[in-house]
C-alpha cells in the first residue's frame, strides 16, 4: 500500500527513489543527459555557485537566528543561571543554589499568585474557547446567508488595538461611579459593582477585558478550521440523517479538533503569561500592581513587581523558571492527551 503510493507519487525509473535524494544536489557525471531541466542547469554552473549552494539555506536563516540568539536565547539561558544566584543589580552576585526556591515557597504571596494564575487560566481557557467557537459558528452561518464579513472584522478588531491603550479605556468603563459597566448594570436593574476596586470583582473584570481583546483572534482561527471542513462531508451527514446537534458532535467537532487543539495551547500559554492588561487595568497608574488585596496578582505580575519594583532580579528569574517549567509540563500533557481526541487529516 505504502510502496504503491510512493511509486505513484514520484514517477521515473523504478529503483532510483533511494538514490534520487542523495544525488540531486551534486550532479554525478554518470547521469543520463537531460533527465530534468534542473539537473542540466546545475552542470553548467560555476564551481563557486556549486560550493556556496549547500550553504544558501544557512545564510538565509542567519539574520533571523542572530536576532533570536541575541535577544532571546542568550537572555533565556542567563535567566536560568540567574535563578540559582542572588543578584539585585547593585550588590555582589553570590551563588545561592536552591535558596531562591526556598525563599519563594515560604512566601504565601507567591502561592497566592499561582492560585490567581490558575483561576485566571482555568476560567479564561474554556471561556475563550466556547465564546470563540460559538461566534465562529454564528459567523459562518451569517457569512453563508448574508454579509458576515463585516461582523467578522468587527470581532477581530479589538485584537489589533494596543493592549495598554484599550485597557485604559476599559478602566473608564469599569469606573464604579461613571463607568459604562455599572451604567448597563443599573439599567438592567442589577446592583452596581466595584469592579477593579473590589477584590472579588477585579479578576472577573480583567477576564472580561481579556476576552474582549483576544476572542477575535481565536474566532478567526475557528472560522479557518470550519472553512476547511469539506462541505460534501457535512452534506453526506445530512443525507445520513444527522441533525444540528449530532452534526456538531460527530462531524464538525472531530474535524475541527486540530484547530481546537491549537486554540487550547495558545489560550493556555497566553493566559498564563498575561501581564499587560492586568498591569494596566489594576494598578499600573498607581504603581501598586496586582489589584486590591493582590486579587489580580498573577505570577507574571508578581514577577514584574519582584524584578522592577523591588529589584530582586534573581528571585524574579527563579519565578520565571518555575513558570516556564509549569507551562512546559502543561503543554506536554496537552500534546500527549491530544492523540486521543485530535484528528489530523
- Nearest distance from C-beta of residue 340 to other proteins, angstroms: 13
Judge whether 216 and 158 are in contact, CB under 8 Å: yes
Report the residue number, 5 or 21, with the smaller CB distance to other proteins: 5
Task: Sketch the per residue contact string, 182 through 221, with other proteins: x for CB under 8 A, - otherwise.
Answer: ----------------------------------------
Q: Which residue number, 28 or 339, has a Cβ lying nearer to other proteins?
A: 339
Q: Measured from the CB of residue 339, what is the shortest distance to other proteins in angstroms?
A: 13
Binders of other proteins among 301-340, rule CB under 8 A? none
Binders of other proteins among 82-111, rule CB under 8 A? none
154 near other proteins, rule: CB under 8 A: no
Show contacts with other proteins in window 215-254 (CB under 8 A).
Answer: 230, 232-233, 235-243, 246, 250-251, 254
CB of 145 to other proteins, least distance (A): 13
- List beta partners, residue 86: 94
Using the minimum distance from each CB to other proteins, give the nearer residue, 211 or 237.
237
H or E element in which residue 319 lies: helix 313-341
CB of 244 to other proteins, least distance (A): 11
Minimum distance between the CB of residue 44 and other proteins, rounded to whole angstroms?
38
Among 1, 3, 37, 64, binds other proteins (CB under 8 A): 1
Tell me the C-alpha distance between 70 and 252, whole Å: 44
How many beta carbons lie within 10 A of that of residue 222, not counting itself? 24
User: Which stretches of the chain are assigned E, i.e. beta strand?
Assistant: 85-86, 94-95
Residue 184: all three cell numbers together: 448597563
Our CB check for other proteins shows the closer of 193 and 255 to be 255
Tell me the CA end-to-end span of the chain in Å, nearest whole number: 18
What Rg value do the Cα atoms of the chain yield, rounded? 28
- Cβ contacts of 212 within 8 Å, gap of 6 or more: 158, 170
| CB closer to other proteins out of 1 and 188 | 1
Nearest CB to other proteins, comparing residues 1 and 55: 1
H, E, C per residue of 133-199: HHHHHHHHHHHHHCCCHHHHHHHHHHHHCCHHHHHHHHHHHCCCCCCHHHHHHHHCCCCCCCHHHCC
CB of 260 to other proteins, least distance (A): 13
80, 321 Cβ separation under 8 angstroms: yes
User: Pick from 114, 135, 205, 255: which binds other proteins (CB under 8 A)?
Assistant: 255
Minimum CB–partner distance for residue 258 and other proteins (Å)? 11
Q: What is the Cβ-side half-sphere exposure of residue 226, based on CA atoms within 13 angstroms? A: 20
Kindly list the residues in this chain that would bind other proteins in the complex (CB under 8 A): 1, 230, 232-233, 235-243, 246, 250-251, 254-255, 343, 345
Amino acid at each position: 500500500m505504502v510502496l504503491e503510493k510512493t511509486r505513484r507519487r514520484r514517477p521515473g525509473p523504478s529503483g532510483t527513489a533511494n538514490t534520487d535524494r542523495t544525488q540531486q544536489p551534486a550532479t554525478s557525471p554518470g547521469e543520463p543527459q537531460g533527465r530534468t531541466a534542473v539537473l542540466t542547469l546545475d552542470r553548467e554552473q560555476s564551481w563557486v555557485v556549486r560550493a556556496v549552494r549547500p550553504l544558501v539555506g544557512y545564510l538565509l536563516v542567519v539574520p533571523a537566528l542572530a536576532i533570536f540568539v541575541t535577544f532571546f536565547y542568550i537572555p533565556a539561558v542567563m535567566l536560568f543561571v540567574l535563578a540559582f544566584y542572588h543578584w539585585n543589580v547593585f550588590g555582589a552576585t553570590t551563588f545561592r543554589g536552591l535558596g531562591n526556591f526556598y525563599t519563594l515557597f515560604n512566601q504565601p504571596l507567591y502561592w497566592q499568585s499561582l492560585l490567581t494564575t490558575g483561576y485566571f487560566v482555568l476560567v479564561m481557557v474554556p471561556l475563550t474557547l466556547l465564546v470563540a467557537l460559538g461566534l465562529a459558528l454564528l459567523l459562518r452561518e451569517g457569512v453563508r446567508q448574508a454579509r458576515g464579513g463585516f461582523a467578522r472584522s468587527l470581532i477581530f478588531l479589538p485584537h489589533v488595538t494596543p493592549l495598554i491603550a484599550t485597557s485604559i479605556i476599559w478602566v473608564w468603563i469599569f469606573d464604579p461611579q461613571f463607568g459604562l459597566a455599572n451604567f448597563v448594570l443599573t439599567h438592567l436593574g442589577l446592583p452596581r459593582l466595584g469592579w477593579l476596586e473590589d477584590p472579588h470583582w477585579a479578576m472577573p473584570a480583567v477576564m472580561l477585558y481579556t476576552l474582549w481583546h483576544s476572542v477575535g483572534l481565536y474566532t478567526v482561527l475557528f472560522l479557518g478550521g470550519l472553512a476547511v471542513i469539506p462541505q460534501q462531508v457535512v452534506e453526506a451527514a445530512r443525507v445520513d440523517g444527522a441533525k444540528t446537534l449530532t452534526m456538531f458532535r460527530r462531524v464538525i467537532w472531530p474535524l475541527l479538533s486540530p484547530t481546537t487543539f491549537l486554540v487550547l495551547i495558545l489560550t493556555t500559554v497566553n493566559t498564563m503569561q498575561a501581564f499587560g492588561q492586568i498591569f494596566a487595568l489594576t494598578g499600573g497608574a498607581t504603581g501598586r500592581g496586582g489589584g486590591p488585596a493582590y486579587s489580580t496578582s498573577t505570577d507574571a505580575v508578581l514577577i514584574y513587581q519582584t524584578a522592577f519594583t523591588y529589584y530582586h532580579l534573581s528571585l524574579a528569574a527563579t519565578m520565571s523558571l518555575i513558570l516556564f517549567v509549569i507551562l512546559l509540563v502543561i503543554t506536554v500533557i496537552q500534546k500527549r492527551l491530544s492523540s486521543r481526541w485530535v484528528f489530523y487529516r
